[in-house]
Amino acid sequence: MTDIVFPPFEFQLDPEVRHERLAAAAERSGLLDVAYRTLDTPVGSLLLAATERGLVKVAFDRQDHDAVLAALAAEISPRILRAPSRLDAVSRQLDEYFTGERRAFDVPLDFRLARGFRLSVLEHLPEISYGHTESYAQVAAAAGSPKAVRAVGTACARNPLPVVVPCHRVVRSDGSYGQYAGGEEAKRTLLTLETA
């Protein structure tokens, strides 16, 4: 294992600067498996986490960011560090999305937290156009299992990448919102933003 050594003057720096240098050193040394940061948005604080493959997790405040980080440590790697620079591109694109300047995301995604039918559903969701919705039944048919309507609901509820992979565009057949990881108000905010 590579040791990261800092000269004595490093500890006289501002703690934020020290942390940024530590994150950069960990990245260079291959010791950073999951980088994370938070981003303030109109739907609350979002936790963003990325591996070297791409964005792996987006979590709402109500999902308990500490619990999410603990789950990522268990499922991916305990080598997690707040390292905002790895998430600069997705942060910028989310800012553009929330100001109405962006309609689709163009960042690498790491889907390792989804498998099987859930993954098929998530791969379909970006095909739902900005400002449009599909019912759970329509998504089930598009994902190849027309009778798996409830499984679509589960896939959307467990979507590790909400907002970026737009499960908020999936609604009930009667047009009502249904459940959402960020809560009904967050889903309403996202759909209203897209139809404005």
Query: The tokens of 159 are what?
Result: 């979507």
The single residue of 23, 83, 167, 171 carrying the catalytic annotation is: 167
CA distance 112 to 53: 10
Task: Say how far apart CA 4 and CA 100 lie, in whole Å.
Answer: 42
Do β-strands 80-82 and 34-41 pair in parallel, antiparallel, or remain unpaired?
parallel
Q: Please state the three-class secondary structure of 99-150 as a single string.
A: CCCCCCCCCCECCCCCCHHHHHHHHHHHHCCCCCCEEHHHHHHHCCCCCCHH
Burial class (CB in 10 A: 0-12, 13-18, 19+), 170: buried
Active-site annotation holds for 167? yes
Catalytic residues: 167
